[in-house]
Amino acid sequence: MNPSLLKYRGRLKALSPEARRRLMDRTGTSDARVAQRTADIIARVRRDGDKALREMAREFDRAELQSLEVPRSVCEAALASLEPKLKDALTRASRNIAKAHAAQKPQATEVETEPGIIVGRRPDPLGRVGVYAPGGRAVYPSSVLMGVVPAKVAGVGEVIVCSPPGPDGKLSEGVLAAAALAGADRVFALGGAGAVAALAYGTESVPRVDRIVGPGNAYVAAAKLQVVDAVAIDAPAGPSEILVVADSSADPEAVAREMLAQAEHDPDACCVTVAVGDVLAQAVAAAVERAAARAKRQEIVTRALSERGAVLSVDSLEEAWPFVADFAPEHLLIATTSPLEELPKARNAGTVFVGQYASVAYGDYMTGANHVLPTAGLARAYSGLSVLDFYRWTTYQRVTRDAAARLADDVGLLADSEGLFAHAEAARGWRKS
């Protein structure tokens, strides 16, 4: 057991302001470098199109690409030959995601603000979206479902999936099968910031999209933030995070399993437990260290926990909630005696797991909630991916002849006051003399 594996231990209120700031700052000190590299990649794709994408596949994925696009028949074949139990599990996940997201579909509204003046707002499905499914340190068929299924529920015109190729130049069978199952229209073997740039600006092979959704590592998250001049994005959904709030009812081994599960995604993952009482905090820390010592993805887990892992103690749950709101975790797990009573106190979490039986892994794959979630503290303002990300809104106003006459003078007055005299004239055109 390595007693110093976790970066932060001890009492939450004893953390120095500098340590607390570093714990909060999940963008990390290397970020300026990531941002610069990402900017260079985007510029290369804008300049050289497909040629740059092929070079980057060689550079970052060690893959020689025959073709950037994967024919639909290849996806269908992967689905047909998928191991039946795995296919059943993917189908079950897809069904739950569709059900949960269908319930979120937005409604058009119309309101009469004054007699004869009707203001409406109508959700229109987007024309074309890009779904990024990560594929560097693990493959993510689940992320294909999380992006494509809600897009299809919303009625998006065309859904394009990008995911990095393996060294053989191919996508995993699971990713291909998930794309076919969810009904993706086109699939490209492209990863990282290059894929994001291609979807944002278009290349000879890749059509530009209206919105890019989906998670990824620091490069993918940085790229999404850098292309917003050309495309909409969902939210910066970067390296995974978990914050567990636990009291004496929590099983320390279960809390440790949750910490390890998110730590194994990425060395940049951030895993924190806030436990009521020093005894529980020590038991959780010891369980985390034991679990890390036997982890299959030990190198990743060890780096994540030693760079950003924390187990901190508080005197009471009341001390935990302001920290939760400030930290704004991607995933919050409430492992307490009365988790449902605590739920309203939890602010700024990407998604909440209520009670210790609600393992984050269930939400990652199967509950039907979306696992594409804001990270790096941005859950303060951004929400997780939902069906709403796949619409844009059209507002309109209808005005009857009589209502136009009633608007003419006041609108004319306001326009005059702004010095916009043609507006005033347009408004007064329908005055009744």
Ligand X SMILES: NC(=O)c1ccc[n+]([C@@H]2O[C@H](COP(=O)([O-])OP(=O)(O)OC[C@H]3O[C@@H](n4cnc5c(N)ncnc54)[C@H](O)[C@@H]3O)[C@@H](O)[C@H]2O)c1
- Please tell me which residue in 173, 258, 331, 371 is annotated as part of the active site: 331
364 binds Zn ion (CB under 5 A): yes
Q: What is the nearest approach in angstroms of ligand X to the Cβ of residue 264?
A: 9
Phi then psi dihedrals of residue 399, to 5 deg: -135, 125
Phi then psi dihedrals of residue 316, to 5 deg: -155, 165
Site mask for ligand X (CB under 6 A), range 50-79, x = bound: ----------xx------------------
Q: Could you give the count of Cα atoms lying within 13 Å of 97 in the half-sphere of its Cβ?
A: 33
CA distance 358 to 396: 43
Q: What is the nearest approach in angstroms of Zn ion to the Cβ of residue 262?
A: 6
The two three-digit tokens of residue 123, written as one number? 């959700």
Q: Among ligand HSO, Zn ion, ligand X, none, what does residue 134 contact (CB within 5–8 Å per kind)?
A: ligand X
Q: Is 330 a catalytic residue?
A: yes
Q: Is 242 left (phi over 0), alpha (psi -120 to 50) or beta?
A: beta
Residues in contact with ligand X, counted by CB under 6 A, come to a total of 32
Alpha-carbon torsion, ordered 332, 334, 335, 340, to 10 deg: -160
Q: Is 331 a catalytic residue?
A: yes
The answer on whether 433 is annotated among ligand-binding residues is no
Site for ligand X in 116-175 (CB under 6 A): 134-138, 143, 164
- For ligand X, give the closer residue by CB, 188 or 219: 219
Residues linked to residue 265 through DSSP beta bridges, in sequence order: none
CA angle 20, 10, 269 (to 5 degrees): 55
DSSP-assigned states of every residue in 208-256:
P-SEEE----HHHHHHHHH-TTT-EES----S-EEEEEE-TTS-HHHHH
Q: Among ligand X, Zn ion, ligand HSO, none, what does residue 136 contact (CB within 5–8 Å per kind)?
A: ligand X
- For ligand HSO, give the closer residue by CB, 211 or 265: 265
Closest CB to ligand X belongs to which residue?
A: 192
Residue whose C-alpha is closest to residue 27's, from 36, 19, 17, 35: 35
Q: Is 40 exposed, middle or buried (0-12, 13-18, 19+ CB in 10 A)?
A: exposed
215 binds ligand X (CB under 6 A): yes
The two three-digit tokens of residue 165, written as one number? 């190729």
348 binds ligand X (CB under 6 A): no
Q: What is the nearest approach in angstroms of ligand HSO to the Cβ of residue 25?
A: 18
Q: What is the nearest approach in angstroms of ligand X to the Cβ of residue 164?
A: 3
258 binds Zn ion (CB under 5 A): no
Q: Which residues bind ligand X (CB under 6 A)?
A: 37, 60-61, 134-138, 143, 164, 191-194, 215-217, 219-220, 237-240, 265-266, 268-269, 330, 371-373, 375
Q: Which residues are catalytic?
A: 330-331
Which residues are annotated as part of the binding site for Zn(2+)? Answer: 262, 265, 364, 423
Q: Which residues bind Zn ion (CB under 5 A)?
A: 364
